[in-house]
Amino acid sequence: MAAARGWVSPSVLPGFGLTLGFAGLFLSFIVLIPLAALIIRAGSLPLDEFWRIATEPRALASYRLTFGASLLAAGVNAVFGFIVAWTLVRYEFPGRRIVDAIIDLPFALPTAVSGIALATVFAPTGFLGAQLERLGVQVAFTWVGVVIALTLIGLPFVVRSVQPALEEVDVSLEEAAESLGASRWMVFRRVILPTVLPALATGFTLALARAIGEYGSVIFIAGNLPMRTEITPLLIVIKLEQYDYLGAAALGLVMLCVSFVMLLSINAINGWRMRRMAGRR
Amino acid sequence: MAAAGHAVRKQESALVRALLIGVSVVFLGAILIVPVLSVLGYAFSEGFDVYLRALRAPDTIAAIRLTLTTAAIVVPLNTIFGVAAAWAIAKFDFRGKQVLITLIDLPFSVSPVIAGLVFVLLFGAQGWFGPLLRDWGIQVVFALPGIVLATMLVTFPYVARELIPIMQLQGKEAEEAAVSLGAGGWMTFFRVTLPSIRWGLLYGVILCNARAMGEFGAVAVVSGHIRGLTTTMPLQAQVLYDEYDLVGAFAVASLLMLLGLLTLLVKTIVEALGARRRRA
C-alpha cells in the first residue's frame, strides 16, 4: 500500500507505482544513463589529458565564439525583444495579432530550415546580405552571422517571458507616478522596468541557454572556419567524424557542465521572482 | 484631462509610438519574416513543376519516409511517458518530485549535438556496446535505431511539460470522487482525466511531433548521412543545400516549414479554446 511507504502521502488514487515506475525507467534509459555514459567516458581520461583537450587553442576559440555570440544574441533579444513585447502589449496597430502569432515561429520551425534560410538571405548575393555588403558589413561566414542565427532562435524566449509581466504592470502605479509629476521616461525607468526586470532576466537566461547548445541554425551561415567561425557543438561533430570519441566526449562534458550551470541559474532566477512576488503581496 | 474629473493615463507621444512599432517590424522582418518567406521564394523560383519534381526525387521520398517512420515510433512512446509522468507528479505527493521534474526538463538544456553524441559513445564502433552489437549483427548508429534514440532524447520533455501544469491545476478531487464511486484506474483516467486534458495533450503531441520531424543536430551526429538510407528530411535539406541544389533544398525545407506553421495554428486554436473555457 502507498501508505506503507514513508516518502509518499497516502491517496485513494491508483496507479502511482505503475506510472512513476514507468516514467522513471523510461527517463533512465533514454536520458540519464546515456548522459551518465558521457560523463563516465570523459571522466576516464586522465585529468591532464582532459585539460589538454578542453583547452587546446581550437577549443578555446570555439568557446569564445559560442559564449560571446550567445551573450550578444541574448542581449540583442533583451533589447529588441522587449520593444517587440512592449508594442504587442501596449499598442494597437494593424497586423498586431499576426505579429503576435509569428513570434513563436522559431520554436516550431526546424533549425535546419531557419539555418539555410538565413544563410541564403544574408549571403553576399542574398536579399539582405547584398544591402549590408554595400554598407560594408559582411554577415555570412563571420561571427555576425552566428549572432543573427542565435538571435532568431532566442527571440520567442524573451518576448514570451516579458509579455505577461508587462500585462501585469499595475496601471494605477503609473498613474500615481504621473500625477506626482514624473515624466513618461521616468515612469518607465522607475515603475515599469523594475516590475518587468525579473521576467526579462528569465527570458535572457533562457535565450542564452538555448543559444549555447544551438547547432542547426548556425552552421549554414557561419562558414565554419577553424579558429574563427567554428562553434563548440560543431567542433564536437568534427571530432566524431574523425573517430576521436574521447576528444568529442571531453568537449561534450564541458558543454554539459555549462548546461547544468545554466539550468541552475534559471531555477535561481525563478526562485528570486517567486520570492519577490510573494513579498509584494 | 485631470479637469474632467478622472486621471487620464499619459501615453507616449505618437512619434515614439510609431518609432517603437517601426523598430519592432524592421527587427522581426529582417531576422524572421524575410528569411521565412525566402524559403517559399526559392522553393518555387523555377516554377511549380520543378518544385514537385524536386519533392519526387527518390532520395527525398526516402527521407520523407524515414522522418515519418521515426516520428511514428518516437511520438507515441514519448506521449505514453508524458502521460504517465504527469499522472504520478500531478496526482500524488511524494518526496523527490521537484528533482524528477528537473530531470525531465534536462533535455531542454542539453545541446542536440550532445544528445546524438551520447548514443555514439554507447553504441558506436568504438562505443561501449559497439563490439557486442557488431557480433550480434545489430546496427544502431548510422541506422534507424540511433536516429530514433537521439530524436527521443531531444523530444523527451514536450508532452510531460505540457501536461504537468494542466493536471496540477485541475487537482485530484474529480478522480478521487470517481474512484470512491467504484471506478477503476483506467476508467477514471479515460472518463475523467483525459476529457479535461485533451487539448493540452493534443498540443503537446503536435509540438513533440514537430520537434521529432524537424530535429537536426542530434540526428546529424548519429545518422552518418547515407543518402536514401539514413537522411531524414532536415538532413536531406542540408545535403541538397551543400550540393547547391537550392530548389531541392528549399522544397524539402518548405514541407518542414508547413509543419511548423500547422503546429503554430494548432497552438493558437488550443489557446483560444482554453481562454474561452476559462471565461465560461
Confidence (pLDDT) at A1 = 44
Q: What is the DSSP letter of B238?
A: H
Cβ distance of A213 and B102 shorter than 8 Å: no
Q: Across the interface, do B92 and A16 touch by the CB < 8 Å criterion?
A: yes
Question: Position of cell 564541458?
Answer: A254
- In tens, the pLDDT along A97-150 reads 889 989 999 988 999 999 999 999 999 989 999 999 899 989 989 999 999 999
What parts of chain B have a pLDDT lower than 70?
A: 1-10, 280
Q: Quick one: pLDDT at residue A68?
A: 96
**ipTM given for this complex:** 0.89
Please say whether the beta carbons of B200 and B270 come within 8 A: yes
- Evaluated on CA atoms A180, A184, A190, A193, the torsion sign reads positive
pLDDT at B6: 40
Three-state SS sequence of A18-29: HHHHHHHHHHHH
User: Does an H or E element contain B261, and which?
Assistant: helix B246-279
The answer to whether the Cβ–Cβ distance between A110 and B39 falls below 8 Å is: no
Domains of chain A: 15-44 (no CATH), 47-280 (1.10.3720.10)
Asked whether the beta carbons of residue A179 and residue B260 sit closer than 8 angstroms, the reply is no
Name B158's Cβ contacts closer than 8 Å, sequence gap at least 6: B78, B82, B204, B207, B208, B211
Q: How many CB atoms lie within 10 A of CB A260?
A: 13
Choose among B24, B105, B213: nearest Cβ to A84.
B24
Q: What pLDDT score was predicted for residue A2?
A: 44
Q: Tell me, what's the pLDDT at B130?
A: 85
Mean pLDDT of chain A: 91
Of the candidates B121, B205, B216, the one whose C-alpha atom is nearest the C-alpha of residue B163 is B205
Q: What is the pLDDT of residue A281?
A: 53
b/e per residue, A184-221, with b = 16+ CB within 10 A?
A: beebbeebbeebbebbbbbbbbbbbbbbbbbbbbbbbb
- A187, A178 in Cβ contact below 8 A? yes
Q: What is the distance in angstroms between the CA of the first residue and the CA of the last residue of chain B?
A: 37
Which residues in chain B are contacts of A249 at CB distance < 8 A? Answer: 117, 121
Cβ-based neighbour number of residue B272 at 10 Å: 10
pLDDT at B81: 96
C-alpha to C-alpha distance for A156 and A237, rounded to whole angstroms: 27
**What is the 8-class DSSP label of residue A2?**
G
Report d(CA A257, CA A251) in Å as an integer.
10
DSSP code of residue A224 = -
Question: Is residue A260 very low, low, confident or very high in pLDDT (cuts 50, 70, 90)?
Answer: confident
Spatial distance between the Cα atoms of A134 and A201, rounded to a whole number of angstroms = 36
Tens digit of each residue's pLDDT (9 = 90 or more) over A30-55: 999 999 999 999 999 999 999 999 99
CB contact (8 A) between residue B92 and residue A9: yes
Per DSSP, the three-state class of B42 is helix
Q: What percent of chain A has pLDDT over 90?
A: 66
Task: Please report the pLDDT score of residue B166 as a whole number.
Answer: 92
Tell the residue number behind the cell numbers 564536437, with chain if given.
A236
Query: Mapping DSSP to helix (H, G, I), strand (E, B) and coil, where does residue B156 land?
Result: coil
CB contacts, 8 Å: A103 with chain B? 28
Q: Please count the residue pairs, one from chain A and one from chain B, whose beta carbons lie less than 8 angstroms apart.
A: 297
A153-164 average pLDDT score: 96
**Residue bearing the bigger pLDDT, B227 or A66:** A66
Is the Cα torsion angle A212, A213, A217, A223 positive or negative in sign? positive
Position A206 pLDDT exceeds 70: yes
* Residue of A13, A67, A162, A186 to mutate when probing chain B, most B C-beta within 10 A: A13
Q: Distance (Å, rounded) from C-alpha B57 to C-alpha B96?
A: 52
Contacts (Cβ under 8 Å, ≥6 apart) of B266: B202, B203, B206
Q: What is the pLDDT of residue A3?
A: 46
Candidates A22, A41, A237; nearest CB to B84:
A22
Nearest neighbour of B221 by CB, restricted to A30, A84, A240 = A240
Q: How far apart are CA B23 and CA A5, in angstroms?
A: 59
Amino acid at B215: E
CA distances from residue A238 to A121, A256, B218 in whole angstroms, order as listed: 26, 18, 14
CB nearest to A13's CB, from B176, B207, B261? B176
Residue A4's pLDDT band (cuts 50, 70, 90) = low
Question: From CA A224, how far away is CA A210, in angstroms rounded?
Answer: 20
Contact: A117, B260; criterion CB under 8 Å: no
**Whether A109 and B260 lie within 8 Å, measured CB to CB:** yes
What's the angle, vertex CA A203, arms to CA A200 and CA A206, rounded to 5? 150
B20, B96, B156 ranked by CB distance to A30: nearest: B156
pLDDT band at A169 (very low <50, low <70, confident <90, very high): confident
The torsion of the CA quartet B258, B264, B270, B275, rounded to 10 degrees, works out to: -150
DSSP state, B10?
Answer: P
Q: At what angle do helices B246-279 and A111-121 cross, to 10 degrees?
A: 120
Instruction: Say what the pTM is.
Output: 0.91
